[in-house]
Amino acid sequence: MTALPTRVLSVGALTCALVLTGCSKGTTETAAPPAASSTTASAAPSTTPSTTGTGGATADGDEVRGRAGSYTVVPPEGWAEATSKADGVADIDLVLLSSKKVDGFANNLVVLKTAGDRSVLDGELAKGKEQMSAAGRTVAPAPAVTVGGVAAEGFTTTFEQQGVKVTARSFGVQRDGSIYLLTLSSSQGDADHAMDELEELLSSWTWS
């Protein structure tokens, strides 16, 4: 990491952002931006409800580009872009949302992007696991995945949010001076299917 102060992307913010579309009562959750820091991540911020809207118009098979323009993906069938739902989250780059709900929760993927090297990524993942464990969430290893040919590292958390049992899988990769943190969230009852959808999506991930 450079000596100049930079915003460090928080895994805590990402795991809070994952519930932005998961509520069965028509509310979303967004996270407050993490505090700027040159060496440490912010703690997981509190969340506040906001009103839901429909996702962006994305036809099946259409490529979707992250806001920074550094990659494209093809969402699974029935998914759409919903990045505007997370405008209050710092470093948000892409949100994809399923149109279907299982156990009152819609599968979704949140991607954050910021500058950083591998040591920053490793530190963020370690702190993220500590934060989630301290919050009483069960933390376990995440399945092995690759993001555009780059091996990702991550972890899985399980917890209950507004009466819904949630599984969140967070992954991180570092490429060309940037860190990408991805969190896939689903109801625990649909966790295996959600992972299949993520693998389908990641098979289309193309760096620009």
Per-residue pLDDT tens for 119-138?
999 998 998 899 889 989 99
Q: CATH topology for 11-207?
A: Protein Transport Mog1p; Chain A (3.40.1000)
pLDDT confidence of residue 86: 84
The per-residue pLDDT for range 10-27, each reduced to its tens digit, is 555 555 545 554 543 443
Q: Where are the beta strands (DSSP E) in the chain?
A: 27-31, 47-51, 64-65, 71-73, 79-81, 92-102, 105-115, 138-141, 146-147, 150-151, 153-161, 164-175, 178-187, 206-207
More confident call, 156 vs 41: 156
Tell me the whole-structure pTM to 2 decimals: 0.78
Q: What is the pLDDT of residue 4?
A: 28
pLDDT score recorded for residue 144 = 95
Number of residues in the chain: 208
93, 114 Cβ separation under 8 angstroms: no
Q: How large is the average pLDDT for residues 42-50?
A: 28
Compute how many other C-beta atoms are within 10 angstroms of the C-beta atom of residue 176. Answer: 6
